[in-house]
């Protein structure tokens, strides 16, 4: 990983937008800090769309989609998109078939019940009531699971046919081919009418943990906030750059680098 302050002047002059994780990337101790909020405002003032892509549920994400200076939030690891349009909040689903979503939901609850039975100390994430398309086991927000239990929970989800990822706070499992990367392609087409595949080098992605690996892998201008070091030993794909600051402070530094790099 290259220190972000080593970015050559003007290297990001062609950047067209920013994609970011939320927990422990945009937020610090569960809240957005003034420096991170100011960074979002500065990016918006510069005409750059900022889209958050998170494992958090749609219900949890709605108030932030309404109030933060974001173009959109893609929640539940690419499954649900939220954006303000014409003064109202709109919602879209990666899986448009409501009957299929309902059947998947029932299946997910059965898998969650198995994880709770078989993994000692496992607890559902406290935001589970707002989830529509996935399940989440808390391992680092309010309940702290040892590494072996985290791996056991993820392995059980995968054995049941789910996609499973580990974020800085949760173990998420879902049904379907979506993930953060697919969600990024989907929302850019849906919201901006552009093909992200044609402009991967013109976007910056900011993240912090193992569930950001596909984003780090595919975006040449990827940035890890400093706390990515916690997960680096367990990651195959690291961000190209790393900020000096952790969490929201690191995001603010990434935003500053975007704005300065375009000069």
- List, in order of start, the domains of the chain with CATH numbers: 2-94+178-261 (3.40.50.1000), 98-174 (3.90.1070.10)
- Average the pLDDT over 15-28 and give the result: 97
Write down the pLDDT at residue 263: 59
- Average the pLDDT over 239-256 and give the result: 98
What is the per-residue pLDDT across 189-199, written as a single tens digit (0 to 9) for each? 999 999 999 99
Residue with the larger pLDDT of the pair 168 and 226: 226
Are residues 257 and 7 in contact, defined by beta-carbon separation less than 8 angstroms? yes
What is the per-residue pLDDT across 200-244, written as a single tens digit (0 to 9) for each? 999 999 999 999 999 999 999 999 999 999 999 999 999 999 999
Sign of torsion, CA 80 186 216 14?
negative
Are residues 190 and 211 in contact, defined by beta-carbon separation less than 8 angstroms? no
As a whole number, the mean pLDDT across the chain is 96
* Residue 144: pLDDT over 90: yes
Phi, psi (degrees; rounded to nearest 5) at 56: -65, 155
* Residue 33: pLDDT over 90: yes
- Average the pLDDT over 16-40 and give the result: 96
Half-sphere exposure of 144 (CA within 13 A, CB side): 0
Write down the pLDDT at residue 87: 85
Q: In the chain, pLDDT over 70 holds for what percent of residues? A: 99
* Residue 26: pLDDT over 70: yes
What is the per-residue pLDDT across 44-100, written as a single tens digit (0 to 9) for each? 999 999 999 999 999 999 999 999 999 999 999 999 999 999 889 999 999 999 999
Write down the pLDDT at residue 86: 86
Q: In the chain, pLDDT over 90 holds for what percent of residues? A: 95
* Residue 10: pLDDT over 90: no
E strand segments, the chain: 2-3, 17-20, 27-28, 31-32, 50-53, 72-75, 80-85, 88-93, 134-138, 163-166, 170-174, 203-207, 222-224, 241-242
* Residue 175: pLDDT over 80: yes
């Amino acid at each position: 990983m290259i220190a972000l302050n080593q970015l050559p002047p003007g290297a990001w002059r062609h950047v067209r937008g920013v994609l970011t994780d939320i927990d422990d990337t945009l937020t610090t101790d569960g809240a957005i800090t003034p420096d991170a909020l100011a960074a979002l405002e500065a990016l918006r003032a510069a005409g750059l769309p900022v889209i958050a892509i998170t494992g958090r549920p749609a219900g949890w994400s709605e108030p932030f989609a309404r109030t933060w200076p974001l173009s959109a939030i893609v929640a539940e690891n690419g499954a649900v998109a939220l954006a303000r349009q014409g003064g109202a909040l709109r919602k879209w689903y990666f899986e448009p078939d409501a009957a299929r979503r309902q059947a998947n939901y029932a299946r997910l609850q059965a898998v969650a019940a198995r994880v709770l039975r078989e993994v000692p100390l496992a607890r559902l994430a406290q935001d589970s009531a707002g989830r529509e398309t996935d399940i989440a086991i808390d391992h680092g927000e309010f309940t702290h699971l040892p590494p072996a239990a985290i791996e056991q929970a993820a392995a059980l989800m995968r054995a049941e046919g789910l996609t499973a990822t580990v974020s800085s706070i949760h173990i998420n499992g879902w049904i379907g081919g979506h993930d953060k990367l697919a969600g990024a392609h989907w929302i850019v087409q849906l919201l901006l009418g552009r093909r992200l595949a044609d402009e991967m080098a013109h976007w910056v992605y900011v993240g912090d943990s193992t569930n950001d690996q596909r984003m780090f892998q595919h975006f040449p201008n990827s940035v890890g906030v400093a706390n990515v070091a916690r997960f680096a030993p367990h990651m195959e794909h690291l961000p190209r750059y790393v900020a000096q600051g952790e969490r929201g402070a690191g995001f603010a530094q990434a935003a500053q680098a975007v704005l300065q790099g375009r000069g």
